[in-house]
Amino acid sequence: MYQLFFSLFFKRMDPEAAHHLAFRWIRLLARIPVLRTYAAAVLAPRHQELRTEAFGLRMHGPFGLAAGFDKNASGIDGLAMLGFDHVEIGTVTAMAQPGNPKQRLFRLIADRALINRMGFNNDGSAEVARRLGERREVFRTVVGVNIGKTKIVPEAEAAADYVTSTERLARHADYLVVNVSSPNTPGLRNLQATEVLRPLLTAVREAADRTETRRRVPLLVKIAPDLADEDIDAVADLAVELGLDGIIATNTTIAREGLASPAELTAETGGLSGAPLKDRSLQVLRRLYARVGDRITLVGVGGVETAEDAWQRILAGATLVQGYSAFVYQGPFWSRAVHKGLAARLKSSPYATLAEAVGAGVRADAAGATTEETAA
């Protein structure tokens, strides 16, 4: 039904306008008690075997909505109603900003992908903090807060910019994400270099600790899929050194190889997300797990469309899995389908719990390599 609706209606709309319309409907439905209860019962059935713990937080399952859909914390309960086990809001910057000029979001339907150059359009961390502080929780869900650099702030002052957002938002975040990997803010990806990233993450950690004294706010960093392998290793080592709680792998890519969509679309600048990102994102995740093991929680995102995709992320080392682009193409029943498929996949596996499955594929490969080396 959704596929027909998408073809007849959303496909003909500007992608950003379609997003705002769909999100408005989700928020409206969540405000009507009878309808939201019914919608949650249909769209968000809970599977006890999928219960997950990450960062000391208990979740209904491992599958959440990645940052970018709800930039301003305006529809968390509506998204929880659809079945997402955690919702990551943002990216939020210290100052409100309109983002890049429109048109800035493009559908690559033939590739089941999106290109965006939104540019961190958001209401600013002060307004988002106010909204989070006034939120009356309808559905219990874990809320991550993703923060980035304000566009007009020079790279040299980036740490102070992130600290401002941290001081405003840390008390409202179940976990906090430092985004240094979007391709749509000039110079942002330069912050992934460890000599720059170390003082930035240290400053954010200190700001979170002095702002929220009742608990330790989990801190994660989100990295790009376009990093060289040695840079991925360097970020992994830095995360262990600083005692970070997690790494999110990965953000969108600037690569354009192997796309089937028309050249006028693939030539658009911005970050590519969706199915074409699947293989590289999984490679990065596996490399991270091989480097850090169970010392840091990993979140797998990028090209996740099906329960099998989510399962492969778990075997590659992800405790949590996120998606976004497939939501556009598959609609409100997407989360339900992923949960149902994950529960079936776990039942048919040799693992009693999801926690046992995390990293099993990487460990098996390592054991196989060791056995082959010994035999040789």
Q: CA 270 to CA 49: how far, in whole Å?
A: 39
- 156-177 pLDDT per residue, tens: 999 999 999 999 999 999 999 9
Q: Let me know if 348 is a catalytic residue.
A: no
Mean pLDDT confidence for 97-120 = 98
| Average pLDDT value for the chain | 96
- 278-313 pLDDT per residue, tens: 999 999 999 999 999 999 999 999 999 999 999 999
Number of domains making up the chain: 1
Active site residue: 181, 182, 261, 281, which one? 182
Binding residues for substrate: 71, 116-120, 179, 184, 251-252
Mean pLDDT confidence for 61-90 = 98
- Asked if the model's pLDDT at residue 374 lies above 80, the reply is no
The whole-number pLDDT of residue 376 equals: 46
Mean pLDDT confidence for 166-195 = 95
Which residues lie below 8 Å from residue 27, measured CB to CB, with a gap of 6+?
Answer: 74, 75, 78
Domain coverage including residue 268: 2-375
CATH number of the domain at 180, please: 3.20.20.70
Amino acid at 154: P
**Which long-range contacts link 359-365 to residues 24+ away (Cβ below 8 Å)?**
359/289, 359/293, 359/294, 359/315, 359/316, 359/317, 360/315, 361/286, 361/312, 361/315, 361/316, 362/286, 362/289, 362/290, 362/315, 362/316, 362/317
Tokens of 129: 């903090």
The whole-number pLDDT of residue 369 equals: 66
- Asked if the model's pLDDT at residue 373 lies above 70, the reply is no
For tokens 């910057």, the residue is: 93
The whole-number pLDDT of residue 7 equals: 87
Q: CA 274 to CA 329: how far, in whole Å?
A: 10
Q: What's the whole-model pTM score?
A: 0.96
Residue 376 CB coordination number (10 Å): 5
